[in-house]
Amino acid sequence: MTHITKKHLRTKTSREASVTLLPDRYKKEAERILKVLDLVALNLKLIEEEIKEALKKNQSYVQTIMSMPGIGIITSLAIMSYMGDCKRFSSAKQAAYYSGLVPRVGISGDTVRYGKNCISWLSCNSKG
């Protein structure tokens, strides 16, 4: 059996070369998988272009978001999508409360809510 590692699968050319090393009984399925990978790669490029266009339209907003430590392009787009038009907030404090970055506990009877945590989760778990 041929040993194929992640290194062999990084580029389209190296993937195609790796398929030629496979025994005949695996080649057809590997070729089908390569076609699916090519389609996924194409879709990813299209999505990246859409993201870049959305970021260009809101460049100053995105730059402000990305000035926060650990926030990259994808996370800034997620924050921008969640927050919407920030002009509706009269202060940064209001925006922080809306996003859930400020801890808040709401108690009503037996129900305890800890506020929205989507943006908080994003900022803690993003890779940039």
Beta strand 106-108 with 111-113: parallel, antiparallel or unpaired? antiparallel
Query: Does residue 124 sit in the same domain as residue 83?
Result: yes
Same domain, 52 and 75: no
Q: Residue 39 pairs with which residues in a beta bridge? A: none
Q: What is the pTM of this model?
A: 0.56
- Residue that terminates a domain, selected from 40, 57, 74: 57
Structure confidence at residue 73 (pLDDT)? 78
Torsion of CA 55, 61, 62, 66, to 10 degrees: 180
Nearest to 119 by CA among 47, 63, 65, 51: 65
pLDDT at 84: 82
- Which residues form the domain of 17? 1-57
Residues 28 and 44 in one domain: yes
Residues 70 and 127 in one domain: yes
Low-confidence ranges of the chain (pLDDT < 50): none
Which of 16, 42, 57 is at the close of a domain? 57
Claim to verify: residue 102 and residue 39 sit in the same structural domain: no
Judgement on whether residues 16 and 69 belong to the same structural domain of the protein: no
Query: Does residue 41 sit in the same domain as residue 91?
Result: no
| Torsion angles phi and psi, residue 63, rounded to 5 | -65, -40
Looking at residue 108, what is its pLDDT?
66
Identify the sign of the CA torsion 100, 102, 107, 111: positive
